[in-house]
Amino acid sequence: MELINGSYIHPNAKIGKNVKIEPFCYIAENVEIGDDCVIGPHATIYDYVKLGKGCQVFPGAVIGAVPQDLKFDGEITHVEVGDYTVIRECATINRGTAASGRFLTKIGSHCLIMSYAHIAHDCRVGDHCIVVSHVGVAGETDIDDWAIIGGGTMVHQFSRIGTHAMVGGATGVSKDVPPYILAARNPISYEGINIVGLRRRGFSVEEIEEIKNIYKIIYEDDKNISDALRIIDQLFPESKHAKVISSFIRNSKRGICR
């Protein structure tokens, strides 16, 4: 190992241009850090981690620790983080596993992983996601682009949270959360669509009204899911948002929140 400014940086680690590494960091051999990253003091980046360009890793964060999964047997697995993602103080992101068939924990670009959040083995987090402080995301969970998970929320293994969805704080996510909605309470329940988030992201009034009408059929018209999806297919045959919603629900393995 090589001691630089109080940090242990393995000489075989691949460090990009204009990377700032603060004192007392640990950076292992099989690590790749993209250009313009900032690694804060006391951050730990273990083997088989790749960071994109412009990422910020704050003090005490640990990226690439071995999975907290009894089926893990020391195999080579990875963590990948996209560009311009921020990982705040004491957040933890674990490597993937062979048992899952994924071998990879992947965080997208332009994400914010806040303090003390935990992203477990084989999770997939899309782009522009926000995982608020003290969230625990169990293994093999998929979080789609632009989703927000409120502070203190616990996400069950194998769950999926849809694009542009928002989960309220201190919620137990035991079912899949469909796209564009607000979900909260315990047990987790549909609370309406994420109107504020959709407006901020440029959705038109017409698009928001369409999404609202689609979810009215699913949640308010006293129909079972199969009947609701059949009606949505008939009423919104050309709607891209209807296709996103119906595809998500049809592919849900845990069932959607009610």
The active-site residue out of 42, 110, 118, 121 is: 121
42: annotated active-site residue: no
Pairwise CA distance, residues 258 & 256, whole Å: 6
CA–CA distance, 248 with 126 (Å, rounded to integer): 15
Give yes or no for a contact between 107 and 81, defined as CB atoms under 8 angstroms apart: yes
Q: Is 151 a catalytic residue?
A: no
* Helix residue ranges, H only, the chain: 195-200, 205-219, 225-235, 240-250
Q: Report yes or no: 10 and 27 within 8 Å, Cβ to Cβ.
A: yes
Tell me the C-alpha to C-alpha distance, in Å, between residue 249 and each of 194, 203, 244, 255. 17, 21, 9, 8
Is 128 in the active site?
A: no
Q: Which of 47, 122, 142, 176 is catalytic?
A: 122
| Residue of 82, 139, 150, 168 marked active site | 139
Distance in angstroms (rounded) separating the CA atoms of residues 162 and 245: 9
Active site residues: 121-122, 139
